[in-house]
Amino acid sequence: MSPSLLPDAARVKHPIGVFDSGVGGLSILKALRAELPHEDFVYVADSGFAPYGERDEGFVVDRSRVITRHLLKQQQLAIKALVIACNTATAAAIHLLRQEHPDLPTIGVEPALKPAIALSHTRRIGVMATRGTLNSQKFKTLLAGLADQAQFICQPCDGLADAIERHDTEKISALCARYTQGIGRFGTQLGEVDTLVLGCTHYPFASQDLQALVGPRVRLLDNGEPVARQTRRMLPSLSSHAAPGQCQLLSTGDPATLQTAARRWLGLDVPCRVL
């Protein structure tokens, strides 16, 4: 019998693995579920070891390896693709993970500098990201290749991912104010920053604060949708199940944090297990 004639239950459904240092990668999972509604996902928040952004690269590489190995062993149902839903971990580890698991399609995220150039009229672009991302060789190479096309003002945002992780709304507002001030004057006139790149997957969850601070005409750019489209292109096979895909949530920290964030931001109400 050809696989397409098998009843749903008889077909093995390998999930797509997604991980981040914590809840930030839910911004990517949201876009993935919209783009690939019939796929199953297993999401790991490494909250017990977050934040990654102010740690050294070796630490982030080790954590990325541990999580990837775990996802490949999941209940004998190995993942069929891996999405590193974290700019910091992508910058530190994607090349190593691809070398170590050459058969696993691995998709990463990086700050959306190229799309920002296409959108910006003033050619002054703010980039908010973790210190780890901004200091990485991968980011420096990306920036150097585009430096003649726009002026990028890069702002390390220590503590912001952590505040979002803890849903500390006061601290989120205070840090967003401090870091947007650090970037300079926002607006659409010459000399003003008209595009703000959110180079950490946690930051879209602070976009209301950020938009209020920079004004309604400044574009905020994250990369959930492009990453979801790229994942579709790189998948070895699409799920042939007609039913909506399922999500599993795993956390190395407090499972309630991830469960609550998934309910709040994605309307996803599923239990979370400890990894």
Asked if 227 interacts with ligand DGL (CB under 6 A), we say no
CB of 51 to ligand DGL, least distance (A): 3
Confirm or reject binding of residue 122 to ligand DGL (CB under 6 A).
no
Q: How many CA atoms lie within 13 A of 62 on its CB side?
A: 7
Q: Which of residues 88-117 bind ligand DGL (CB under 6 A)?
A: 88
Among 45, 50, 112, 127, binds ligand DGL (CB under 6 A): 50
Q: What are phi and psi of 162, to 5 degrees?
A: -65, -40
Who contacts 64 (Cβ-Cβ below 8 Å, separation ≥6)?
19, 84, 89, 92, 93, 96, 97
- Rounded CA separation 34/79 (Å): 19
Which one of the spans 48-56, 136-144, 220-228, 231-239 is the region binding ligand DGL (CB under 6 A)? 48-56
x/- contact string, 136-175, with ligand DGL (CB under 6 A)? -------------------------x--------------
Query: What one-letter code names the amino acid at 72?
Result: L
C-alpha 235/C-alpha 69 separation (Å) is 19
Residue 6: name the closest of 250, 241, 253 by CA.
Answer: 241
- Tell me how far apart the alpha carbons of residues 28 and 127 are, in angstroms, rounded to a whole number: 18
Which of 53, 156, 224, 255 binds ligand DGL (CB under 6 A)? It is: 53
Q: What is the CA radius of gyration of the chain?
A: 19
The Cα–Cα gap between 239 and 8 comes to 10
> Closest approach of Cβ 198 to ligand DGL, in Å?
9
Binding mask 186-225 for ligand DGL (x = CB under 6 A): --------------xxx-----------------------
Beta bridge partners of 82: 17, 106
CB of 35 to ligand DGL, least distance (A): 19
Catalytic residues: 86, 200
Residue choice 20, 39, 40, 222 for contact with ligand DGL (CB under 6 A): 20
To ligand DGL, the closest distance from the beta carbon of 202 in angstroms equals 5
CB of 29 to ligand DGL, least distance (A): 12
DSSP 8-state secondary structure symbol assigned to residue 14? P
Residues engaged in binding ligand DGL (CB under 6 A) = 20-22, 24, 50-53, 86-88, 130, 133, 161, 200-202
